Amino acid sequence: MSESKKNVTVPKRSEVNIDDTWDLSILYKSDLAWKRAMSRLEKMVDGYAEFQGKLGQSARMVRACLEFEGEFDKLAERLGSYAFLKASEDVANSTYQGMIGRYTFVATRAGEAASFIAPEVQAISKAKMDRFLRSKELAAHKFQLEKLLRYKPHILSLKEERLLAMQGEVAGTASRIFGQLNDADMKFGFIKDENGVKRELTQSSFRTLLESPKRKVRKEAYHQFYKQYEGHANTLAASYSSSVLQDVYLSRARNFPSSLENALFADRVPASVYDNLIKAVHANLDTVYKYLELRRKALKVKKLHFHDNYIPIVKTAKWHATYDDAVTMVMEALQPLGAQYCGTLEKGLREKRWCDKYENQGKRSGAFSAGGYFGPPYMLLNYQDSVLDSMFTLAHEAGHSMHTYNSAKNQPYQYYDYTIFVAEVASTFNEQLLNSYMLDKACGKKTRAHLINREIDEIRGTLVRQTMFAEFEKITHAIAESGQPLTLEVLREEYGKLLRLYFGEDFVIDESLTLEGLRIPHFYSAFYVYKYATGLSAAIALSRQVMSGDVKARDRYLNFLKSGGSKYPLDLLRGAGVDLEKPEPVNETMKRFKALVDELEELI
């Protein structure tokens, strides 16, 4: 009922004030202009054939091919962005769904047409390739080619590659089965929330219900939710272990020492970074236990369970800030980044319509930044005046957007896009600056406690929890690699051990919680979540340096924002002033965590 009541006040897209929307006309003046450009792209696909079989001829030929690919991708990106962003304005609009379909079809065809490039480049003899790489002709593409050539020891014979490609069609089976079970087949029933309103228990409402102030509601939601997982435990274990076995198979087929090293290869991250992360978090778990004890006391419960883990322990003070107020505060908070950064961003947020600000009927929920090489670094928000987190989201997405903006302005197309490994650094960096600004300004214990608790929970959720996940992935793959079967019992036992380690002896681990490791969708892209943990650590370390007023540190950081993907992620971050091959950044973050917990203890 409250849903439908809410919808009355949410405007239709056609009723939204134009100044509150993003200006997509910079990408294409009209849908018709998009269609014309799309026809051009469709014709371009055949252009790839010009180069097939000829890349070994000369450096000039390789360059021509890479330049063609760059031009194709640039146009495709602009077309895809327009369709995707238009569709986000109103997901029910079938015109834009159709445009996305047309774009996807061409992109798939282009992927097939371009699939000869990597193997042909890799087949060029070393002596010849060395000559090519030394030539002026390929200077602008050297790193791009080196990234391709690194894979050479892991490329098999044509026949073997063909077999692997054929197997690729079934490689995603485990993930598909899990997705169907988790998102479609499992039904979790209904729960009465703290207001006595009956609500359907789903993947997303589960999290909201765990924040219910009524413990009975949280407890019921938890047990009812996990009952479904208990009922499907064997299927979940079979599906997850198949995914692990697939990872092991592929890493062996491609001559990697382990599936972990296979997964880290693309970013050229040594396994020691992964191990350091786990070690550094282990060394600081006492602080996590201390925080949990504080949480237990604040909630006034005898024993802490998982269903007590998400409810905020500090009540939010009343908050009101319009979008313009929020921009003002974010801009003040970002002052340490200098006039140029702030000037560009403020214009984008206030005048140049980078941002689609408010909710409307059918608009995509949540928030994202989606800039490209061409056009402004657009942001989608669902800004709410009364929600403090809305302002943090604005700062976060603005961080992504300014990263894209600076990289696109300073790099050639082939190097402007950055990897996931560095992406969350620029966004959480801005959140750090905003939090520190708010703490300085915070009058009143309540706001201060709330802000501190907010950051504690961010570090807990991003660094501690994701590291526990990362450790689980390491353990399960190692078990499979040693030839032991990954049975349900083994998986539960290993996950249970980690829960006890990360939550401590005083935290009650309900037996059903040992199934949590079998319900994390990210585990179907193995060894991915650790990047959240390293990203946050890097952002905290870098933001501390810049906030200290060190001009050199600021310039290093701004330079990082301009670097896109022109180097490997660890090199980019080292240039910015943080070395993730050393344990310090993670230790620093945990030190900050400890300071925050100590202060919170005083405040509540």
Residues 56, 120 contacting (CB under 8 angstroms): yes
Segment lying near Zn ion (by CB under 5 A), choices 280-288, 370-378, 422-430, 573-581 = 422-430
Residue 326 beta carbon to Zn ion: minimum distance, rounded to whole angstroms:
17
**Closer residue to Zn ion (CB): 106 or 345:** 345
β-strands 304-305, 190-192 pairing: unpaired
DSSP state of 58: -
Least distance from Zn ion to the Cβ atom of residue 397, Å: 7
Instruction: Compute CA distances 441 → 233, 319, 338, 455, whole Å.
Output: 50, 14, 20, 16
Taking CB under 5 A as the binding criterion, the range among 216-224, 425-433, 456-464, 590-598 that sits at the site for Zn ion is: 425-433
Residue nearest to Zn ion (CB): 427
Residue 268: C-alpha distances to residues 138, 265, 330, 366 (Å): 22, 5, 35, 32
User: Looking at 174-182, 185-193, 420-428, 530-538, which segment touches Zn ion (CB under 5 A)?
Assistant: 420-428
Closest CA to 215 of 298, 299, 295, 289: 299
The nearer residue to Zn ion, 284 or 427, going by C-beta atoms, is: 427
State how beta strands 190-192 and 198-200 pair. Answer: antiparallel
**Bridge partners, residue 198, by sequence:** 192
Query: Which string of x and - marks every residue 374-413 that binds Zn ion (by CB under 5 A)?
Result: ----------------------------------------
Give the residue with the Cβ less far from Zn ion, 425 or 498.
Answer: 425
Q: How far is the CB of 48 from Zn ion (least distance, A)?
A: 33
Q: Segment near Zn ion (CB under 5 A), from 114-122, 419-427, 443-451, 478-486?
A: 419-427
Least distance to Zn ion from the beta carbon of 468, Å?
21
Of 444, 468, 96, which is closest to residue 281 (Cα–Cα)?
468
For Zn ion, give the closer residue by CB, 427 or 543: 427
Residues in the chain: 604
Which one of residues 144, 276, 390, 427 is an interface residue with Zn ion (CB under 5 A)?
427
Tokens of 398: 């603005």
DSSP code of 508?
E
Provide, rounded to whole angstroms, the least separation between the CB of residue 459 and Zn ion: 16
Span from 213-221, 353-361, 426-434, 575-583 in contact with Zn ion (CB under 5 A): 426-434
Nearer to Zn ion by Cβ, of 304 and 330: the residue is 330
Stretch that binds Zn ion, among 217-225, 327-335, 384-392, 427-435 (CB under 5 A): 427-435
587: contact with Zn ion by CB under 5 A: no
User: 331 vs 536, which CB is nearer to Zn ion?
Assistant: 536
Residue 78 and residue 86: Cα distance in Å, rounded?
A: 12
User: Which of 392, 381, 503 lies closest to 451, judged by CA?
Assistant: 392
466 binds Zn ion (CB under 5 A): no
Q: With respect to Zn ion, which residue has the nearer C-beta, 427 or 537?
A: 427
**8, two tokens:** 């009355």
Burial label, 410 (beta-carbon count in 10 A; 0-12, 13-18, 19+) = middle
Report, as residue numbers or ranges, the catalytic residues.
397
CA distance linking residue 278 with residue 228, whole number of Å: 31
Closest CA relative to residue 462, chosen from 523, 531, 537, 533: 533
Contact set for Zn ion, span 90-119 (CB under 5 A): none
Applying CB under 5 A, the site for Zn ion has a residue count of 1
Q: Which residues contact 68 (CB under 8 A, 6 or more apart)?
A: 47, 48, 50, 51
Minimum distance, C-beta of residue 14 to Zn ion, in the bound complex (Å) = 30
Subset of residues 546 to 565 that bind Zn ion, contact rule: CB under 5 A: none
Q: Provide, rounded to whole angstroms, the least separation between the CB of residue 95 and Zn ion.
A: 29
Of 239 and 427, CB closest to Zn ion:
427
Q: How far apart are CA 299 and CA 294, in angstroms?
A: 9
Q: How far is the CB of 402 from Zn ion (least distance, A)?
A: 12
Minimum distance, C-beta of residue 427 to Zn ion, in the bound complex (Å): 4
Helices (H), ranges, 300-387: 323-333, 339-350
Q: What is the DSSP letter of 16?
A: S
Q: Which stretch binds Zn ion (CB under 5 A): 58-66, 249-257, 313-321, 424-432?
A: 424-432
Instruction: Please list the alpha-helical segments (H only) found in 504-568.
Output: 530-547, 551-561
Measured from the CB atom, the residue of 427 and 467 that comes closer to Zn ion is 427
DSSP readout, 279-320? HHHHHTHHHHHHHHHHHHHHHT-SSEEGGGSSS-SSPPPP--
Q: Where are the beta strands (DSSP E) in 322-437?
A: 355-356, 368-370, 378-380
Residues within the interface to Zn ion (CB under 5 A)? 427
